[in-house]
Structure 1
């Protein structure tokens, strides 16, 4: 589940647009962010394995209202992402490599709607069955990345690694500020399976081990394909929305007549992996949001009802589908025929909402560590409380920088005297960009505050049978 959710096909090309230093920053952030981040969540996830994950942690540390608002920001990232960058990348890939869809056509709309709702229906079916879909997707994702990396090496040996000519891997401030938000977005999410903590056989044992394995796999699945892509494709030719598949089109030439069919198979795998990636996030984040509702923290407990037979929060799943659909339609109107520009903007919105949630989640972990030392902790961060606090401070600093850079791109660059022409970078004006991002955040906060207020008014009313959330079907 963690591999399916965290390894993001849509960010590989976006990271590679940073050129040679993208590989340097990918490795550096893996070491100085991913490792302490994984340590923090491994300890907390094993100590507090209850269903709901981050919602439970923030509630225990800061109370129900803070937990409800944080969960809203965490959850809504995923339907925004599903209806934004994931569906746009899937449609672009299908259009270019499998079957022509066109832009803004009936076929284009139909494909995108089917993509969104198949991902939602995968989350609706019982976890006992749905997990196999995401597992196959995770395997397809790792296989596709491994085949691409190996093929790129073969291509480079035969034709030369021309992409590396004149490429500098030296880190720069400009590259740092441009890549931090997208790299943090790529690496976060390993705590997501904790949302289904009570559906694991032994979460206190499984969570730390799963985090360690998943973090290692994720770091390799970002760094190696980015290096391979940059080795064969000059950085100025790499695009965020088509980088991976365009690189595959080039390197698959080593297979001769078989290149066309293999490329089409890879494109189908690519789209399927994107679909299951969205499904995996829907499975875990919808459970978090459903737990917040069932606990009386967001509008009505009815929203948190788990289906008695499927064991899934069907109402929250359907709400996610509706949000993803609305966002997809809004993004298509914003695109005005240019998919690359809207791809970057909608991905930034998803980055922003997710990173903002961690500004509350990380302090909650610290408070739980300090206030509840008596809770059994099967796994502990090295060097005890001091080590935990150092990891938390380092992670929080990264999140602050990433959040600011995602919300207000270009501001830190100007402080450092770096030229930053906003329209050239984003393809839209700063006013349009800030309206879309800040407007989305303001709307979400308004919805969250209203949801908490409504839930408080209903808090004294008895819940209908099953509304607090029936136990999901079986264990996995």
Structure 2
């Protein structure tokens, strides 16, 4: 299907377009969104908030996820070009803004892969499958293999790679469903003791603590649009796939969190081990089969984490590659798509390098304490991703206002007013989440809530801010350099073209 939008450079005139192969159907888009968005690492982290975590999970699903899904369903169907959010920001705010926003969006994923995902996978493998130790050769080997297998699954052609992410999505939903049902069975037999000291009443403190992680858990359904020109019919399939995957994700967060809290007291739930520790407890209902079943679940858990990282590499690397190929970030060579595989191999390898460096730095920062670094690393990823939405959301609104002539196969209810209302609501959530992630404890102090920083994070505020703010500042510097280098290359290319025609 050809795009009806004439607001971007024609597909035929772009060198990377010839390598793109249409291989994503509605089912594939839905599975990719589920694989990318449902985060095992955040289930335990959410549950640490106790009973009110379930309350806020449901509330944010209604008041954030629904308007968020509506915004991206309309925009993704109206502007289905390869690159997704990069194209949208470029059309609304220009190429430099799009390049910087894409950098913040993209870098979240190698940071996340080399940080929280690989740490959680190693912790799970060490505790339930095979002992690795901490800082040992086995530990380093496992983490390096995890990172680079995820990268390699993004390198293979999307026609084949999509089945890896589909398998991960299926395994993820199956594992969460099995855990939820087993927890219910455990509760029937032994009582739901976790609920005796749990309150579902929402509080301001709980809200401020949970908003960043819940927003991080729910965002990302627009990610498959990064492969917009590799979809068979994006204008019809994107809205339907987004709606289905969002509904599945809401259930896959809320139900396991409730199940975990029902059988494990909130004060015993840990972010890094919450899901598997809960599984260790409830699988006791299977008697002698509990051990093998728990080990199988752990392997599924690690595989689902791997495919989750892979799914994000597939989509975010395409965004970053399109920014480079379009002349917006460093050199166009970085955005080259492999002629046979149809994947941005150079950007994939760059992601692998960034993930590896971040993993090594995080291990050094951790000093052997995986739980503390898990929380800090995840916060860095939350911060960079949410900061990118501070630009993406206004871009969607500007496109809605400035380009009313663009065909929109799906529209937000109540027209432009409905779109603007959704945009304002989503932006307010993102603003609160970004501030809370970047400067935790500040809003709590404003509301008179006790907040002992070291008790919450396990590190001092100075160390925390050095790691998070230092990362953001470094990214902005890299982005500014990338835009400047790209502008110089574009000028040189234009001068070369003029010289050739004179």
Q: By the TM > 0.5 criterion, same fold?
A: yes
Check whether the contact 1:423–1:430 (CA below 8 A) recurs between aligned residues: yes
Q: Cα deviations across residues 68-94 of structure 1 (Å, max 9, x unaligned)? A: 000000000000000000000000000
CA 1:466–1:426: 2 relative to 1, 3 Å? farther
Q: CA deviation at 1:460?
A: 2.9
Q: Cα deviations across residues 107-129 of structure 1 (Å, max 9, x unaligned)? A: 00000000000000000000000
Counterpart CA distance in 2 for 1:76 and 1:343 is 17
Check whether the contact 2:36–2:309 (CA below 8 A) recurs between aligned residues: yes
Counterpart CA distance in 1 for 2:110 and 2:313 is 8
Check whether the contact 1:305–1:466 (CA below 8 A) recurs between aligned residues: no
Counterpart CA distance in 1 for 2:95 and 2:373 is 35
CA 1:388–1:475: 2 relative to 1, 3 Å? farther
Check whether the contact 1:306–1:466 (CA below 8 A) recurs between aligned residues: no
Q: Cα deviations across residues 391-437 of structure 1 (Å, max 9, x unaligned)? A: 00000000000000000000000000000000000000000000000
CA 1:129–1:463: 2 relative to 1, 3 Å? farther
Q: Cα deviations across residues 22-44 of structure 1 (Å, max 9, x unaligned)? A: 00000000000000000000000
Query: Are residues 1:327 and 2:358 paired?
Result: yes
Counterpart CA distance in 2 for 1:463 and 1:122 is 37
Check whether the contact 1:199–1:475 (CA below 8 A) recurs between aligned residues: no
The runs of 5 or more residues in structure 2 that have no matched partner are 1-31
Q: Cα deviations across residues 198-242 of structure 1 (Å, max 9, x unaligned)? A: 111100000000010000000000000000000000000000000
Check whether the contact 1:74–1:357 (CA below 8 A) recurs between aligned residues: yes
Counterpart CA distance in 2 for 1:465 and 1:329 is 43
Check whether the contact 1:119–1:279 (CA below 8 A) recurs between aligned residues: yes
Check whether the contact 1:6–1:187 (CA below 8 A) recurs between aligned residues: yes
Check whether the contact 2:83–2:228 (CA below 8 A) recurs between aligned residues: yes
Check whether the contact 2:197–2:265 (CA below 8 A) recurs between aligned residues: no
Q: How does 1:295-374 map to 2 (within 5 A)?
A: 295-374=326-405
Counterpart CA distance in 2 for 1:466 and 1:382 is 47
Q: Provide TM-score, normalisation by structure 2.
A: 0.92
Q: Provide TM-score, normalisation by structure 1.
A: 0.97
Check whether the contact 1:301–1:463 (CA below 8 A) recurs between aligned residues: no
Q: CA deviation at 1:465?
A: 15
CA 1:340–1:464: 2 relative to 1, 3 Å? farther
CA 1:466–1:349: 2 relative to 1, 3 Å? farther
Counterpart CA distance in 2 for 1:80 and 1:292 is 19
Would you say how many aligned residue pairs link Structure 1 and Structure 2? 470
CA 1:465–1:245: 2 relative to 1, 3 Å? farther
CA 1:406–1:386: 2 relative to 1, 3 Å? same
Q: CA deviation at 1:166?
A: 2.0
Q: CA deviation at 1:337?
A: 1.1
CA 1:15–1:351: 2 relative to 1, 3 Å? same
Check whether the contact 2:321–2:336 (CA below 8 A) recurs between aligned residues: yes
Check whether the contact 2:193–2:264 (CA below 8 A) recurs between aligned residues: yes
Secondary structure at the counterpart of residue 171 of structure 1: coil
Check whether the contact 1:95–1:101 (CA below 8 A) recurs between aligned residues: yes
Task: Tell me the equivalent position of 2:257.
Answer: 226
Q: CA deviation at 1:136?
A: 0.3
Q: CA deviation at 1:466?
A: 17
